[in-house]
């Protein structure tokens, strides 16, 4: 019982930062321009291709005023820039 509780708490700790990180994202043209610059700086071609696709979907969401979808795609594009 205690083990299940500890495992559950541990999983919550892992998931919480990504949920809070997305709430910090602002979906506007200035943020999109900065993200474009960041994506251009990615050297890994696979990550860059993934980030460009997510960036394109974020731009579409911004144009259709879908803030949640825009934030999700911007977050995914930023992950392409994270060192793994």
The pLDDT tens digits of the residues spanning 37-69 come to 999 999 999 999 999 999 999 999 999 999 999
- For 48, the token pair is 């860059």
Predicted TM-score (pTM) of this structure: 0.67
For the chain, the domain total comes to 1
Which pLDDT value is given to residue 8?
A: 57
Q: What is the mean pLDDT of the chain?
A: 79
Buried b (16+ CB within 10 A) or exposed e, 25-44: bebeeebbeebbeebeebee
Q: Tell me whether residue 63 is in a domain.
A: yes
For the stretch 34-43, contacts whose Cβ atoms lie closer than 8 Å and that sit 24 or more positions apart, written own/partner, are 35/74, 35/77, 35/78, 38/78, 38/81, 39/77, 39/80, 39/81, 41/81, 42/80, 42/81
Q: Tell me whether residue 61 is in a domain.
A: yes
Q: Tell me whether residue 43 is in a domain.
A: yes
């Amino acid at each position: 019982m205690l083990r299940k509780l500890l495992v559950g708490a541990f999983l919550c700790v892992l998931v919480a930062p990504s949920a809070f990180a997305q709430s910090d994202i602002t979906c506007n043209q200035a943020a999109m321009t900065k993200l474009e610059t960041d994506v251009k700086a990615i050297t890994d071609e696979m990550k860059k291709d993934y980030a460009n696709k997510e960036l394109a979907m974020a731009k579409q969401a911004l144009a259709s005023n879908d803030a949640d979808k825009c934030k999700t795609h911007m977050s995914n594009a930023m992950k392409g820039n994270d060192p793994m």
